[in-house]
Amino acid sequence: MRNHVRHALVTGAARGVGHATSLSLAGRGYEVVGVDIRQQRSNGATATISADLSDPSECDRVIAEAGRIDVLVTAHGLLEPRSIESTTVEDFDRAVSVNLRSVFLLCQGSAPSMAARGWGRIINFSSVVARTGGFSSAPYAAAKAGVIALTKSFATAYSSRGVTCNAVAPAAIDTELNAFLDEAGRQRIIDLVPVGRFSTPEEFAALVVYLAGDDAGFITGATIDMNGGWVMT
């Protein structure tokens, strides 16, 4: 694999961590296909795909249109703040379809061809609320906890064939996903973080670049809690 250009599929590429990851991978010579439901700004991607990943057929289409995938990064997500009392079945199903089912389908569609070539990297984004429970959305927290279990399952199934699968569980990223927080809400989160600040998308992109490389070949089935010390396991 060292003599070939590697191909990466990055979801959530229009903003935040996905955007920063696309830029970082492209800057290191990867051919990047960026996926998002939104219009994508310049992110270094060789190609872009617009898709609603809550739709299983759209997940299939993304895999087909992307072609070769050596590195899969699932950085998309949907967080709709709701109290437990006001959460409907439709809210729950939407959270699971975007944040969990789509991750399974993208991994399922990518891993076999990676294994056939004897090399691959899957990096899924979970969340600190998978560890703590959701303070703003119980379905989101449940789905992100499911991402950790899925990651372990794919690591168990594919690591012996050269495909590693890991999760990243972030907290307090300064992105649009947390735009619903007012200043008091942001401060409450900062007070939970020993580092004392929000993180940047670029910090996570750097971690993804490492996990996507050859030097991370002995890391699989892991969930990396990159949360400024909010949760220490």
Which residue numbers are catalytic?
140
Amino acid of residue 135? F
Distance (Å, whole) CA 164 – CA 156: 9
Exposure string for 6-22, b = 16+ CB within 10 A, e = fewer: bbbbbbbbbbbbbbbbb
Structure tokens at 118: 């004897």
Structure tokens at 75: 């950085």
How is residue 199 annotated by DSSP? B
Among 23, 76, 17, residue whose Cα is nearest residue 52 = 76
Distance (Å, whole) CA 67 – CA 55: 19
Contact 157, 111 (CB under 8 A): yes
